Chains A and B, each alone.
Chain A
Amino acid sequence: MSGNLTTALSRAAQYAFITGIALFIAIPMLVIAVFSFDANRFPTIPWGGFSLQWHEAVFADDMIRDAFVNSLVVGFGTAVIATILGFAAAYIDYRYVFRGKTLFGLLVAIPPAVPVSILGMAMLAFLSRIGLFGSVEAIVACHVAIATSFAMAIIRLRLGEFPRDLEPAAWNLGASPFATLLTVVLPFCKPALIASFFLSAAVSFDEFLIAWFVGGVNETLPVRILNLLQGQVNPKINAIGTIVLIISIALVLVAQRFVGVRAGKTSQSNT
């Protein structure tokens, strides 16, 4: 009997612990979201009443809108390019054995391991030298360098489940190596490609430091937020924060759905 009680208590304690951690992480974001609808200019308790004015103000603000558009453009560009490069790297790693393969793998995997500030400064220095500093393209290039590592990892994982006989079977049935890539490998990797796309978008959308270093006048949303914060304490920030939070969560959730590694089952989007 006491065995059951101990188990129940221990269960309760575990849940409480995890709930505590989750709340600790989530509460600041929830607070921001809640107060973004607060009619009061300064967040106070009690609440000043429900109001959409700060959200409306965000959409009316030109600089915020420009920054948002930049974030979208950079995010989309990064997602597309990183997924393509990530697939190429993953496929090469899967299919071929060659001298320097380990070095190649390392090169692709390193960017997320390098401290972002060092990465940012190095990119700033390099881009200035070749005259690309301060452009949206520059931000995309830097984000691609980071996001490709994630894309490659996700797609390589998927290729690990690719039955070895499928490619030769396709050749045997009349598909040229290129046709096989298009009609067999890519469709098989579809869930991983989608996951890479959204994860790269999420990585780029949230990325602050490099965009700040490298973007110059072109601000992405996180950069605009910092500038807003430095200037004034403005309730518009809560609204932006809420919007960014929702977008980021959505991107990651979509990515999660397609990465879905379940024991003994390939991703749901296969028939």
Chain B
Amino acid sequence: MSNTFVALENLDKRFAGHHAVKGINLDIKAGEFIALMGPSGCGKSTTLRLLAGLDEPTGGDIFIGGQSMRGIPAFQRDTPMVWQSLALFPFLSVVENVEFPLRMKKVGKIERRKRAMEWLERLGLGGMAERGISQLSGGQRQRVAIARSLVTQPPILLLDEPLSALDAHLRVRMQTELSRLHKELGITFIYVTHAQSEAFALADRIVLMADGMIQQIGRPQDVYREPANAFVAEFMGMNNIVRGGISGRSGDEVQIDGPLGRFIVLAKSNPRSRGIASFVIAADRVGLSEASAQDAVANRVNGSVIGIEFVGSTQTIFFDVNGQEFRVQKQQHEIDALDLTPGKRFALHWQPQHAWLLPEAA
């Protein structure tokens, strides 16, 4: 708690007819890279705007550096933002754009030109200083926007889906640059995105939001492998959810009976021993074998192929398991030998330690 730099306390925002943020709580440490993630309309962008002071909360408070932001207007906060649309000033040159925040702080002409040029050099734009914005490529403009936000050496940087307008190749390059910048500067980054790959690549912790509320906070690998509820399980990665009820427990082994059969799940962190429960098995942890083969592995269902989706070298195979859709992810070379014509039946199996018991009921 002591190195919490940004704290959201019961932060609430209601618009006419739309409750965008519903009393969320979040502690962000100094120097952390936080990704705010979620589907459209989940409240992540609204939360960012509240942090920047572009909207006033209807309830709760925001603390930055221990100081309440209530009543402090946007231009008095030190929370520069990199916009999705970049919002560069078309009537100013590149270096004049970068100088702008310093100009607003009444920094002298020579000093601010020097500092702006330093940042442009740092981001590889030294030769572009006098150019107009329209003469730059998308990636270059992106870097001008970043330079402009960082020129005042702020303690925190807000980013609103900054890479969504770039093509895939450029996006990966910029991700690397952002990551490098974050490590070099050591300041807090708060990054809004709906792309899992970006969040996983960049963030120390992910905050997953839906419907105005926080669903889960955690490291990328934790949110990915240990989802807190069904929403997270379905939003992150590719998971299958099996529903049923707990029919017994011995030690860490939980026995679940449901419409798809009987399963054993290893639940070290979850003490539940009865009631309705669901567990998650990730698509890339499901093994395939011939339907008729006998297997000693406990967790198994039979399903028939519905279809295959091809994404690069990864294949996603869709199965019909007693009316429920099951997804299995395999590398191309792993399934070359298998006959995956629709309707063909297979046994789908996994290890009990790979299944994850969802903490909440159903």
User: Counting CB contacts under 8 A, is A165 at the interface?
Assistant: yes
Chain A interface helix/strand/loop/mixed: helix
CB-nearest residue of chain A to B103 = A183
Do A172 and B90 have beta carbons less than 8 Å apart?
no
- A12 to chain B minimum Cβ distance, whole angstroms, is 41
Do A165 and B83 have beta carbons less than 8 Å apart?
yes
Within 8 A of A (CB), among B202-242: none
Do B89 and A174 have beta carbons less than 8 Å apart?
no
Interface size on A, residues (CB 8 A): 22
- B331 to chain A minimum Cβ distance, whole angstroms, is 43
User: Which chain B residues lie closer than 8 Å to A2 at the CB level?
Assistant: none
Q: Fill in one digit per residue for A250-271: 1 if any B CB lies within 8 Å of its CB, else 0.
A: 0000000000000000100011
Bound CA span A170–B81, Å: 10
Do A173 and B80 have beta carbons less than 8 Å apart?
yes
Residue from B52, B91, B92, B104 in contact with A179 in the complex, judged by beta carbons closer than 8 Å: B104
Do B79 and A271 have beta carbons less than 8 Å apart?
no
Residue from A168, A187, A188, A271 in contact with B74 in the complex, judged by beta carbons closer than 8 Å: A168
User: Which chain A residues lie closer than 8 Å to B73 at the CB level?
Assistant: 171, 176
User: Counting CB contacts under 8 A, is B152 at the interface?
Assistant: yes
Total of A-B residue pairs, C-beta within 8 Å? 67
Which interface residue of A172, A175, A176, A188 has the most chain B CB atoms within 10 A? Answer: A172
CB-nearest residue of chain A to B54 = A168
Residue from A165, A173, A270 in contact with B104 in the complex, judged by beta carbons closer than 8 Å: A173
Do B148 and A173 have beta carbons less than 8 Å apart?
yes
Do A174 and B152 have beta carbons less than 8 Å apart?
yes
User: Counting CB contacts under 8 A, is A34 at the interface?
Assistant: no
CB-nearest residue of chain B to A175 = B104
- A175 to chain B minimum Cβ distance, whole angstroms, is 5
User: Counting CB contacts under 8 A, is A55 at the interface?
Assistant: no
User: Which chain B residues lie closer than 8 Å to A132 at the CB level?
Assistant: none
Do A172 and B74 have beta carbons less than 8 Å apart?
yes
Bound CA span A190–B91, Å: 10
User: Which chain A residues lie closer than 8 Å to B132 at the CB level?
Assistant: 270-271
- B199 to chain A minimum Cβ distance, whole angstroms, is 23
Task: Decide: A163 near B104, CB < 8 A? Known: A188-B91, A270-B90, A271-B91.
Answer: no
User: Which chain A residues lie closer than 8 Å to B74 at the CB level?
Assistant: 168, 171-172
User: Counting CB contacts under 8 A, is B341 at the interface?
Assistant: no
User: Counting CB contacts under 8 A, is B191 at the interface?
Assistant: no
User: Which chain B residues lie closer than 8 Å to A190 at the CB level?
Assistant: 91
Bound CA span A172–B48, Å: 12
CB-nearest residue of chain A to B133 = A271
Bound CA span A174–B81, Å: 11
Residue from B75, B87, B148, B152 in contact with A163 in the complex, judged by beta carbons closer than 8 Å: B87
Q: Fill in one digit per residue for B167-181: 1 if any A CB lies within 8 Å of its CB, else 0.
A: 000000000000000
- B214 to chain A minimum Cβ distance, whole angstroms, is 24
Do B87 and A166 have beta carbons less than 8 Å apart?
yes
Task: Decide: A188 near B90, CB < 8 A? Known: A169-B83, A173-B101, A174-B105.
Answer: yes
Within 8 A of A (CB), among B71-119: 73-75, 79-81, 83, 85, 87, 89-93, 100-101, 103-105
Do B87 and A174 have beta carbons less than 8 Å apart?
no
User: Counting CB contacts under 8 A, is A184 at the interface?
Assistant: yes
Bound CA span A176–B104, Å: 9
- B47 to chain A minimum Cβ distance, whole angstroms, is 15
Do A174 and B83 have beta carbons less than 8 Å apart?
no
User: Which chain B residues lie closer than 8 Å to A168 at the CB level?
Assistant: 54, 74, 87
Do B75 and A174 have beta carbons less than 8 Å apart?
yes
Q: Which residues of A contact B (CB under 8 A)?
A: 163, 165-166, 168-177, 179, 183-184, 187-188, 190, 266, 270-271
Give 9 A-B contacts (CB < 8 Å), ordered by A residue: A165-B83, A166-B89, A171-B73, A172-B74, A173-B80, A175-B104, A179-B75, A183-B103, A271-B91
Q: Other than the known A172-B81, A179-B104, what 4 A-B pairs have Cβ atoms closer than 8 Å?
A: A163-B85, A168-B54, A173-B100, A174-B75
